[in-house]
Amino acid sequence: MSDKVYVFDTTLRDGEQVPGCQLSTPEKIEVAKELEILGVDIIEAGFPISSPMDFNSVIEISKAVSYPIICALTRSVEKDIDFAADALKYAKRKRIHTGIGSSDYHIKYKFKSDREKILERAVAATKYAKKYVEDVEFYCEDAGRTDNEYLARMVEAVIKAGATVVNIPDTTGYCLPEEYGAKIKFLKENVKGIDNAIISCHCHNDLGLATANTMAGVLNGARQVEVTINGIGERAGNTSLEEVAMILKTHKDVDLHTNIDSKHIYALSLLVSKMMRMPVQPNKAIVGRNAFAHSSGIHQDGVIKHRENYEILDPEDVGIPQSSIILTARSGKAALKYHLDRLGYSLEEARVEEVYDDFLKMADAKKDVTDDDLIILIEGSLPEGGIKLKNVQIICGESVFPSATVELEVNKEIIHASATGTGSIDAAFRAVDEILGEVFDMDEFLVQSMGNRNDDGKVHLRVKYQDQHYMGFGVHKDIIIASVKAYVDAINKITSVKSKVLKATA
Ligand SMILES: CC(=O)SCCNC(=O)CCNC(=O)[C@H](O)C(C)(C)COP(=O)(O)OP(=O)(O)OC[C@H]1O[C@@H](n2cnc3c(N)ncnc32)[C@H](O)[C@@H]1OP(=O)(O)O
Ligand SMILES: CC(C)C(=O)C(=O)O
């Protein structure tokens, strides 16, 4: 039977240390409940001594979830451990995670101490935590830069003192995968009693090697991975949960498994990104906007013929409905035909050739080609029903209700409506909904500056309509106008597709 790799999620502790990512207790509870549904084995819920709110969050998360072990972090300091034990009092399954720096950098410059004294503190902290809980994890901070002989002594000593899990963090993200894997192998082969504990990998991404190092650890005998959603965490971040989970799921040759129900990955990635105000880079593995988007002709042709020509993962396995074929000047006729078919146009080969030439000129000029653009290419203009943004007026400020008046041209008729909202953008979207008599469900919204403060703002959003996703883009010096343009762009795609499909099936 394949071995289980325990997933220890530290989004709410290491992830939450990132500036701007702090969450309120109710927000942490919401994430914790979703982590439970995802199937993580351990949730590191906080560092209870650090602040009253962190202490309280560990208490409330302990009450809110049942299956995962709730873990609280401490230094090798008795008071920290007292606080952690107190915060864990309601947890159905609990763990204290204590530890100390083991590298000579930390011993000499952080603690101004020596190796023997630090070893004594490590053992004392483990024994002290053991008075409160059976399950004690010990971290050897900066193990990545710790001499292996000394690390092995520390690991052996804390296991003897009762540690059930030994964490070997590459705190500074320094190790190469071979080096980190060899470190875990060294501990497996040289520590007496190592089989009485689980070895855990906690790798940082300073050199972009966090996932590779974690996998090297696992392949050399570690059975717990410390990860975060979207790889968020101190500095360049931690190992990302979705990457390790999907590596283990995809590589059938590696006889290991996790308890992760991968279909929930994408929804949780969106939730964490939104709540922690940390946009996911578009090319991020598994959950980035482009992770399943194909934009060059040879790849698009290959995917259209057989998805697995260019995809090693099925997007549905991570909760993404489908991969996408993006039309650009690098697209070929296969991609163009694919979209024309989808829009209900079945054209003769000669006509496709003709449209393709015009398409390329348009793609060179516009960079990406939308459904509306294709319809214009075929029909010369947008069908009746196209919506144009004519005007937006906003009232906002400290002590006023954010409100917006929007004017749209719908079926050649000018219509305007006003609405209030939680902010100016929400108010403007509501005014659009008011005019169109329909509320569109938006599940992604990203505002980016194209440069400095007087450059254009770019908005990318995604609207869900009848189980299909429609992207909207808008660019303007004013981000509110850019947002409304993007919203109208997405709605126009919905209405274009709707009218084309109706025409095709009539
Ligand atoms: C690797 C990790 O630990 S990742 C977790 C990092 N997370 C955090 O630091 C967030 C929570 N931290 C905090 O809220 C605060 O730093 C506290 C409450 C822990 C400590 O606050 P303060 O008492 O004001 O100490 P301060 O933050 O200035 O300095 C840290 C102290 O802890 C000591 N320390 C650091 N790590 C450890 C450890 N693992 N075990 C024992 N002592 C430690 C440092 O040597 C320093 O003590 P010193 O001033 O006597 O040398
Ligand atoms: C507390 C430990 C596990 C840590 O976060 C690190 O070493 O990076």
Q: What is the pLDDT of residues 270-281, one digit of tens each?
A: 999 989 989 999
The model carries a pTM of 0.86
Residue carrying structure tokens 């901070």? 141
Q: How many residues does the chain have?
A: 506
Give the integer Cα–Cα distance in Å for 376 and 353.
16
Q: What is the pLDDT of residues 116-141, one digit of tens each?
A: 999 999 999 999 999 999 999 999 99
Give the integer Cα–Cα distance in Å for 238 and 121.
27
Burial (0-12, 13-18, 19+ Cβ within 10 Å), 447: middle
- Ligand 1 pocket (Cβ < 6 Å) reads 17, 47, 49-50, 75-77, 99-100, 110-111, 141, 171
Q: Take residue 406 and report the two structure tokens written for it.
A: 């929007």
- pLDDT of 499 reads 60
Q: What is the pLDDT of residues 314-369, one digit of tens each?
A: 999 999 988 999 999 999 999 999 999 988 899 999 999 999 999 999 999 877 78
Could you tell me the distance, in angstroms and rounded to a whole number, from the CA of residue 416 to the centre of ligand 1?
58
Q: Which ligand is nearest to the CA of 202?
A: 2
Give the integer Cα–Cα distance in Å for 238 and 253.
25
Q: What is the pLDDT of residues 59-81, one digit of tens each?
A: 999 999 999 999 999 999 999 99
Q: What is the pLDDT of residues 473-487, one digit of tens each?
A: 888 889 999 999 999
Could you tell me the distance, in angstroms and rounded to a whole number, from the CA of residue 75 to the centre of ligand 1?
7
290 pLDDT band, cuts 50/70/90, is: very high
Say if residue 448's pLDDT is above 90.
no
Say if residue 502's pLDDT is above 50.
no
From the CA of 238, give the closest atom in ligand 2. Answer: 8
Closest residue by Cα to residue 198 from 346, 70, 41, 38: 41
Residue nearest to ligand 1 atom 24, measured at CA: 50
Q: Please, what is the average pLDDT of the chain?
A: 93
Residue nearest to ligand 2 atom 8, measured at CA: 171
Report ipTM for this prediction.
0.97
- Residue 131 gets the label, from left (phi > 0), alpha (psi -120 to 50) or beta, of alpha
Residue 306: partners with Cβ closer than 8 Å, 6 or more residues away: none
Give the integer Cα–Cα distance in Å for 258 and 243.
12
Residue 202 assigned ligand-binding role: yes
- pLDDT of 82 reads 98
Residue carrying structure tokens 């259209």? 304
- Mutation choice for ligand 2 from 105, 145, 202, CB with most ligand atoms inside 8 A: 202
Rg of the chain on CA atoms, in Å: 27
From the CA of 98, give the closest atom in ligand 1. Answer: 39
Q: What is the pLDDT of residues 9-52, one digit of tens each?
A: 999 999 999 988 999 999 999 999 999 999 999 999 999 999 99
Neighbours of 99 (CB within 10 A): 24
- pLDDT of 384 reads 61
Range 340-344, long-range pairs (CB < 8 A, 24+ positions): 340/374, 340/378, 342/497, 343/371, 343/374, 343/375, 343/496, 343/497, 343/500, 343/501, 344/500, 344/501, 344/503, 344/504, 344/505
Say if residue 382's pLDDT is above 70.
no
- Ligand 2 pocket (Cβ < 6 Å) reads 14, 73, 139, 141, 167, 169, 171, 202, 204
- pLDDT of 386 reads 76
Cα 243 to Cα 7, 141, 204, 225, 479: the distances in Å are 12, 23, 14, 11, 33
